[in-house]
Structure 1
Amino acid sequence: MITGEVKNKVDKIWEHFWTGGVTNPLTVIEQFTYLLFIQGLDDIQKRMEKQSLITGKPIERPIYTKEQENLRWSKFKEQDSEEMFRVVKDEVFPHMKKVGEDKSRFSKHLENAVFVIPTPLLLQRVITGIDNLLNDLPSQNRDTLGDLYEYLLSKLLTSGTNGQFRTPRHIIDMMVALMKPSPKDTIVDPASGTAGFLVSAAEYIYKHHHDEIFMSNDKKLRDHYNFTMFNGFDTDSTMLRIGAMNLMLHGIEDPNVSQLDSLSKTNIQEESYTLCLANPPFKGSLDYDEVNPNLLNKVKTKKTELLFLALMVRLLKTGGRCAVIVPDGVLSGASKAHADIRKDLVDNQKLEAVISMPSGVFKPYAGVSTAILIFTKTNNGGTGNVWFYNMQADGYSLDDKRTQLDHDKHEENNIPDIIKRFGNLEKEKNRKRTEQSFFVHIDEIRKNQYELSFNRFTETVYEEVKYEAPEKIITEIKQIETEIIQGMEELEVMLKWNKLN
């Protein structure tokens, strides 16, 4: 999460847009994002130039040619407002829309991007504000845009528009760390939004497999990373543009994000991916005639959270893994549809873990309690012992402020403990039901109608409280009463004395 100082600078830029005549929150975010993207393109070019100097090899696909130097952020930001406005509107913005290969998926998302900043003065103020904002960040690393998006998108909710918000970054990173994506994975998020899960997965792979992908001669692996590894669907074209830019600024040359209603009949994909990471919409309800019949055959329901689970099973290849956030109702809902989807995960797939999260994780947007389900698609069962963990703290206060706490204290942040325990489940076998994590055998889950709530299986230890003998308690009460009467008498004497004087 970004600091209060950074938030204040973002608020100031937002105010510039507002007073400059751009008042639709989503439009502000789009224009803000385009300028962040343009600045990021200059940073990418600088990295490529530095790499070229080190290796002595020319840049293979430069973002800017020598003739386009004036289109770089570091160049046009120094110009006067009138010239800056002309260059950005007539040259920089059209160039941004053509970044990447001709007819690439990325350029397709930017086809309908429109520059709507109305005046040179507003553009100059916003560019100066963004430049100061990025210069003052602790480090302009590959996470910068995601952190800024998280705060920018929160303004959609406070402004009453769309109500879109991202999954907290630290929760996304935890899920990615639990799944440990590899360079050979093909990853999907069927409700991708700003591509937070895909970006985090890309970061994980970049960090842990950099040499394998980028320092070897394996062009096939590099192409997979740049073109086919990261896949996302969303119905919102604006979110897709933001997500595509987010991925590209994180080093993905041509992100594969598509405008698609994942649950609809138009989505015919199946068994295409090896890893699914997602936080699909909660509390949605669809008409049966809008939903893909293949999903309804799996679970007869109108609830989006259940339909998305069925979709994820369908999208994964056999052996594919999934980590998905679900509302608590999925774990314990009594309807046939709820029971059917849980039964499928337990009996037909391999359910591995249920991590319950506190209700404050998604504040201030929502107070719903949630959990993370981790499973592997087998279509042939395989569930044995399911690992349950009760997350009580995620490193931030669980109120609307979500203030960052001391991450070094275990009691304030369970995330490192979750990752450590999940990475060595052999040590979990002997844990008791009174602890924060434990195993539950499939037979016990079946006996409990496939309920997956942590509270269903935990055991509470009641401490014996010893009280004093009744006779002693009565004696103490009498003594207290005597002291009260004595105090009242002393108070009456003081009042009489005050009246006489």
Structure 2
Amino acid sequence: MITGELKSRIDRVWDAFWSGGISNPLEVIEQVTYLLFLRRLDDQQKAAERELRRLGSTSRPMPFPSGKEHLRWSHLLASGDTAYVHRTMGEQVFPFLRSLGDDIAGETTTYGAHMRDARYTIPSAALLGKVMDMLDLIPLDDRDTNGDLYEYLLSKIASAGVNGQFRTPRHIIRLMVQMMAPKPGDEICDPACGTAGFLMAASEYVREHHPDVLVDRDQARHFHHSMFHGFDFDSTMLRIGSMNMLMHGVNAPDIRYRDSLSEGAAGEAELYSMILANPPFAGSLDYESTSKDLQRVVKTKKTELLFLALFLRLLKAGGRAAVIVPDGVLFGSTKAHKELRRMLVEDHKLDAVVKLPSGVFKPYAGVSTAILFFTKTGAGGTDDVWFYDVAADGFSLDDKRSPITDDDLPDVLSRWQNLDAERDRARTDKSFLVPKADIVAEGYDLSINRYKEVVHEEVEHRPVADILADVERLNDEIADGVARLREVLR
């Protein structure tokens, strides 16, 4: 956890941008990302120089070649000339960053690939100098601090991004990752990764529960290079997501540009053992621009259904998925809705439906959602489907999302990890198991209210005549009181 002092420093950086004329949250984070990246490159160069002086040679990356040392963070900061630094940033530093390419600093990071269209938009030398001074005071030599710092920065996105993008609440991501329990051998994909919150949380889970993951050389290489895969068609998100992973200690994740639903993205199939995702819900696509492979799975223009078809296509046999979907996916009456639910139940293994309260995504959206958990088998396997009706997630369900004491999420995880005990639960409880036969009988409807039993408490009301008698008595008492008050006032 970052301290209150560090949070205060980040707040001051944020306030400096806003008072300096940059009010778009994504632009603020993007510019801070560039500066943090430049500082990280300088730290790498310093580490290589120390090793070179001590041993006479180094295998560490040295990002700044001869003739480019003046572009280093420490050199710019030491110059003391903010006008010079501001001019150099636009004329030399950013062209240098854009030229780094995929093989920046050897195998240290893949971040350079996302810098090709980086733009320097800090408007004044005074703002740049203030921000650089503040960022230089923030310690970046600890992975946990780095990650928490960047997450705190991302938490300040208080409005939806372009194309309907918004951050998935981190406590919901954490629940999904804990329920999926990724292992060191997994290959994890988020086809709509945004800021890479799911991939980051999965990496932290693996580090925590498998502390020896980085001891073995082959396993460490898999962790850094081939375990985490994220796609997005927003270059800003790619940069932010890549830096998020880098700050959390994953050096070279496979985060790249891809419109996951497009015809041009066809070709990847059965590559991943796990998918964690919250794909965009709103909107529909033209048939012509959508992958024909996905259209063969389900004929639809709706993005939420196309993404579900994509998940099934990307997963290996036996691969598992935990994905957030709008409620309409659970009970929609179109042919495409019904067919996709039938496929999940009959052709694969539907494991669970966790219903979320409708305020979870506020202030971005009030859409009602659920988390689907399923396993790709290609040969069925659905037996009992576990349902949980989440009433509270630890935060108020209004736009403020203030912390509250009511929180079902720990209970969700606890019950999920002990499904045998769920077999005896009545359907009046928060969670219960539903046999496949019942779901088939309901036309593959997956809405929890279809199966939940509501107990109506019998209330015995007083006879109407007695109530009317009480009303008349009260009226008489009021009239008597008014008459006495008039006598006093005479």
TM-score of the pair, normalised by structure 2? 0.87
Show the counterpart of 1:295: 294
Q: 1:93 to 1:290 in 2, by over 3 A?
A: closer
The correspondence of residues 55-134 of structure 1 with structure 2, limited to 5 A, is 61-62=60-61, 77=77, 80-82=80-82, 84-85=85-86, 98=100, 99-101=104-106, 105-130=110-135
Q: CA deviation at 1:493?
A: 2.6
> Does the C-alpha gap of structure 1 residues 249 and 224 become closer, same or farther in structure 2, counting only changes over 3 Å?
same
Cα distance per residue 1:421-447 (max 9 Å; x no partner): 111111111110110000001110011
1:402 matched to which residue of 2?
Answer: 401
Aligned to 1:28, what secondary structure does the other structure show? helix
Question: Could you say which residue in structure 2 is the equivalent of 1:449?
Answer: 443
Given that residues 275 and 322 in structure 1 are in contact (C-alpha distance below 8 angstroms), is that contact kept between their aligned partners in structure 2?
A: yes
**Within 1, Cα distance between the matches of 2:73 and 2:5?**
24
Aligned length: 478
1:264 is matched with which residue: 262, 274, 291? 262
Matched, 1:151 2:156: yes
Instruction: Tell whether the 8 Å contact from 1:81 to 1:123 is kept in structure 2 after alignment.
Output: no
Aligned equivalents of 1:357 and 1:132: distance in 2?
40
Aligned to 1:409: none
> Which residue in 2 is equivalent to 1:206?
207
The verdict on how the C-alpha distance between 1:104 and 1:18 changes in structure 2, with shifts beyond 3 A counting, is closer
Q: Where does the alignment leave 5 or more consecutive residues of structure 2 unmatched? A: none
2:108 and 2:171 map into 1 onto residues whose CA distance is 35
The residue that corresponds to 2:191 in the other structure is 190
Deviation at 1:38, TM superposition (A): 3.8
Find the aligned partners of 2:355 and 2:38 in 1 and give their Cα distance. 40
The superposition leaves residues 380-400 of structure 1 with CA deviations (integer Å, 9 ceiling, x where unpaired) of 000000000011111111100
| 1:88–1:106 CA distance, 2 compared to 1 (3 A) | same
Amino acid at match of 2:328: G
Give yes or no for the alignment of 1:283 onto 2:282.
yes
Amino acid of the structure 1 residue aligned with 2:312: V
> How much has 1:117 moved relative to structure 2?
2.7
Q: Write the letter of the residue equivalent to 1:484.
A: I
1:371-423 Cα shifts (integer Å, max 9, x gaps):
000000000000000000011111111100111224xxxxx111111111111
Contact 2:196 2:230 in 1 (8 A): yes
Of stretches 458-467 and 113-122 in structure 1, the one that deviates more from structure 2 is 113-122
Partner of 2:234: 236
**Kept after mapping to 2: 8 A contact 1:25/1:156:** no
Show the 5 A alignment for 1:330-341.
330-341=329-340
Query: What is aligned with 2:225?
Result: 227
Q: Structure 2 matches for 1:20-39, cutoff 5 A?
A: 20=20, 22=22, 26-39=26-39
Counterpart of 1:429, as a letter, is R
Deviations 1:289-333 (A, max 9, x none): 111111111111100000000000000000000000000000011
* 8 Å CA contact 2:110, 2:251 repeated in 1: no
* 1:354 match: secondary structure: strand
SS at match of 1:324: strand
What is the SS of the residue equivalent to 1:452? coil
- Structure 1 residue 145 displacement after superposition: 1.2
Residues 75 and 200 of structure 1: CA distance in aligned 2, closer, same or farther (over 3 Å)? farther
Quick one: percent identity of the two aligned structures?
48
Q: Distance in 2 between matches of 1:302 and 1:29?
A: 33
Which amino acid in 1 is paired with 2:304? Answer: E
Distance of 1:19 and 1:475 partners within structure 2: 68
Q: How does 1:245-256 map to 2 (within 5 A)?
A: 245-256=243-254
**Contact 2:29–2:153 at 8 Å: present in 1 too?**
no
Partner residue of 1:305? 304
Which residue in the other structure is 2:425 paired with?
431
Distance 1:322 1:476, change over 3 A: same
Render the CA deviation track for 1:265-298: whole Å, top value 9, x for unaligned.
1122100000000000112200111111111111
Aligned mates of 1:43, 1:125 — CA distance in 2 = 20
The residue type paired with residue 336 of structure 1 is K
Task: Say whether 1:165 aligns with 2:166.
Answer: yes
Partner of 1:361: 360
Aligned-residue offset at 1:116: 3.4
> Match of 2:478, SS?
helix
Q: Is the 8 A contact 1:6 1:133 kept in 2?
A: yes
User: Contact 1:26 / 1:156 at 8 angstroms: preserved in 2?
Assistant: no
How much has 1:107 moved relative to structure 2?
2.1
Distance 2:132 2:183 in 1: 38
Name whichever of 421-430 and 85-94 sits farther off: 85-94
1:465 aligned counterpart, secondary structure: coil
Paired with 2:324 and 2:458, the residues of 1 have a C-alpha distance of 38
Change (3 A) 1:21 1:471: closer
Task: Call closer, same or farther: CA 1:204–1:20 in 2, change over 3 Å.
Answer: same
* Contact in 2 for aligned 1:100/1:107 (Cα 8 Å): no
TM-score of the two chains, using structure 1 as the length reference = 0.85
The answer to whether the Cα contact below 8 Å between 1:150 and 1:165 also exists between their aligned partners in 2 is no
Return the offset for 1:220: 1.7
Q: Which amino acid aligns with 2:32?
A: F
**Rounded Cα–Cα distance in structure 1 between residues aligned with 2:49 and 2:382:** 51
Change (3 A) 1:13 1:301: same
Q: Aligned partners of 2:26 and 2:410: how far apart in 1? A: 35
Question: What amino acid is aligned across from residue 326 of structure 1 in structure 2?
Answer: V
1:72-104 CA distance string (max 9 Å, x none): 757754652436546766776567664442797
Aligned-partner residue type, residue 110 of structure 1 = M
